[in-house]
Amino acid sequence: MAYIFPGKIFPSALNAYIQCPFKFKCHNDKDVKAEFIENPESFVGKIVHLALENFFDIKKVPINERKDQDIGQMIRHLWARVPKSSWSSACWSAKERKELFGSTEQEKAFGLKAIAMIKNYISKADLSIVPLSLEDWMQCSVGEFVIAGKIDRIDQDSESSISVWDYKTGKLPFYDSIEKIIKDDPQIPIYAIIASKLYPFAKKIKAGLIYIQYSKIYDIIWTKDELEEVENEIIKTIREAKDNTDFSPRINNLCPWCDYKNICPDKDKIKEKDSKIEEVIW
Ligand code: SF4
């Protein structure tokens, strides 16, 4: 294996470590790291992010035109222009999209679902916001490390407060409270720390997840002092990951979906989820 401790820590890497040190090792090994393969859901996820980036960009859609924006037209325009990867400007051809979705009818069904999802979110969202940043790659130093990520949206709420948002296009999370969600996943704390350092005027930092399909928000507010404690915890976890030398597998609830299950030393101990089928009784 060619494991290298990352120069920049992204939330996905730290999340892998919290779940399982062996998974973290695989995630940071260029020889075994799972390759990302586009699927219909990830394509829709990209479209939704692109559409909301355009929608909240006042250079593209002035605030007074947001309410009357033709979301269907916007999605159809973007759909044909989704780049195949972040390092190439080549777009998906109609033939490739048909293959990805299985048929033109299925592609249409996913497209209509994306339009409905965004219309539903926008109908309940605050349309007066002027974001400080949209879909930007950002990073900052914490202790001896650099943390980084692509932050979907940062809004200025007042002269001394900001909100940091990540859009989710999938199902609602397993946990129904932000405190439980961030215990397992450091994405929101990491984004809040980066935003607070890049916008030092903010004394209060709200950060959270927006589940677009359900217009459901999970958020938390930190003062700068509280966020400093969160930062110390993040540094502690990164140090632990760096100093870890045995990378033992840690069986957890997400093992059945782990990209590294086939090379996991404990693969025989993993119980397949939902293997028992109980028929309906009506
Ligand atoms: S299957 Fe489970 S224990 Fe094995 S590497 Fe993946 S997360 Fe770790």
112-150 pLDDT per residue, tens: 999 999 999 999 999 999 999 999 999 999 999 999 999
CA distance 22 to 25: 5
* Nearest protein Cα to ligand 1, atom 2: 255
Quick one: 87 exposed, middle or buried, by C-beta within 10 A (0-12, 13-18, 19+)? exposed
Q: Please report whether residue 95 resides in a domain.
A: yes
Classify the C-alpha dihedral 174-179-185-191 as positive or negative: positive
Residues ≥6 apart with Cβ < 8 Å to 159: 201
User: Would you say the CB of residue 121 lies under 6 angstroms from ligand 1?
Assistant: no
Domain boundary pick from 91, 124, 157: 124
Q: How far apart are CA 124 and CA 131, in angstroms?
A: 17
Assess whether the C-beta atom of 18 lies below 6 angstroms from ligand 1.
Answer: no
168 and 107 in a single domain? The answer is no
Residue 277, pLDDT > 90, answer no
Give per-residue pLDDT as tens, 191-202. Answer: 999 999 999 999
pLDDT of residue 75: 97
Q: What percent of the chain has pLDDT over 70?
A: 98
User: Tokens for 247?
Assistant: 């990378």
Judged against a pLDDT cut of 70, whether residue 275 lies above it is answered with: no
Torsion of CA 142, 146, 152, 155, to 10 degrees: 30
> For residue 27, how far is its CA from the centre of ligand 1 (angstroms)?
11
Is 268 a member of any domain? no
Predicted pLDDT at 273: 59
The answer to whether residues 113 and 162 belong to one domain is: no
Give nearest CA residue, ligand 1 atom 5: 23
Residue 12 lies in a domain: no
For residue 194, give its domain range: 131-242
* Atom nearest to 22 CA in ligand 1: 5
**Is the predicted pLDDT of residue 236 greater than 60, yes or no?**
yes
Residues 52 and 85 in one domain: yes
* Triad 96, 42, 145: Cα angle to 5°: 125
Mean pLDDT in residue range 14-32: 96
Is residue 274 included in any domain, yes or no? Answer: no
- Position 36 scores a pLDDT of 86
- Asked if residue 138 and residue 101 are part of one domain, the reply reads no
Residue 121 Cα to ligand 1 midpoint, Å, equals 35
Q: Is residue 222 located within the same domain as residue 178? A: yes
Q: 136 and 224 share a domain? A: yes
- Mean pLDDT, the chain, whole residue set: 94
pLDDT at 23: 97
Q: Looking at 97, 124, 151, which one is the last position of a domain?
A: 124
Reduced to 3 states (helix: H, G, I; strand: E, B; else coil), residue 133 is: strand
* Residues 113 and 135 placed together within one structural domain of the fold: no
Q: pLDDT category, 1, cuts 50, 70, 90?
A: low
Q: What is the Cα gyration radius of the chain?
A: 20
pLDDT at 263: 95
Query: 10 C-alpha to center of ligand 1: Å?
Result: 19
Report the distance separating Cα 36 and Cα 87, nearest Å. Answer: 13
| Domain co-membership, 148 together with 227 | yes
Distance 266 CA to ligand 1 centre (A): 7
User: Which parts of 20-103 fold into alpha helices (H)?
Assistant: 21-27, 40-55, 63-66, 71-79, 94-101
Q: Tell me which residue has its CA closest to atom 4 in ligand 1.
A: 264
- Helix, strand and coil content of the chain, in percent to the nearest 5, comes to 45, 20, 35
**Is 153 among the domain residues?**
yes
Do 162 and 143 lie in one domain? The reply is yes
Q: What is the dihedral of CA 197, 216, 185, 6, to 10 degrees?
A: -60
d(CA 164, CA 142): 18
pLDDT bracket for residue 55 (50, 70, 90): very high
What span, in angstroms and rounded, lies between the C-alpha atoms of 55 and 66? Answer: 7
Please state, in angstroms and rounded to a whole number, the distance separating the CA atoms of residues 181 and 149. 18
Does a structural domain hold residue 16?
Answer: no
What does the alpha-carbon distance between residue 261 and residue 238 come to, in Å, rounded to a whole number? 24
State whether the beta carbon of 258 lies less than 6 angstroms from ligand 1: yes
Whose CA is closest to 6, among 242, 259, 251, 263? 242
pLDDT of residue 86: 75
Q: Which of 269, 165, 237, 279 is nearest to 17 (CA)?
A: 237
Same domain, 163 and 228: yes
Q: Which of 33, 244, 260 is the pocket-test mutation for ligand 1 (most atoms within 8 Å of CB)?
A: 260
* Interhelix angle 40-55/94-101, nearest 10 degrees: 120
Quick one: pLDDT at residue 271?
77
Average pLDDT for residues 12-36, to the nearest whole number? 95
- Distance of CA 19 from the midpoint of ligand 1 (Å): 8
Does the structure show a pLDDT above 60 at 189? yes
Query: Per the domain annotation, does 116 fall within a domain?
Result: yes
What pLDDT sits at residue 85? 81
- pLDDT of res. 63: 96
- Structural domain contains residue 275: no
Q: Does residue 24 line the site of ligand 1, with CB under 6 A?
A: no
pLDDT band at 278 (very low <50, low <70, confident <90, very high): confident
Segment 72-121, tens digit of pLDDT: 999 999 999 998 887 778 999 999 999 999 999 999 999 999 999 999 99
Adjacent-strand bridge partners of 202: none
Write down which residue in 106, 124, 142 finishes a domain: 124
The structural domain count of the chain equals: 2
Predicted pLDDT at 276: 67
210 lies in the same domain as 136: yes
Q: Are residues 186 and 100 in the same domain?
A: no
In the chain, % of residues over pLDDT 90: 89
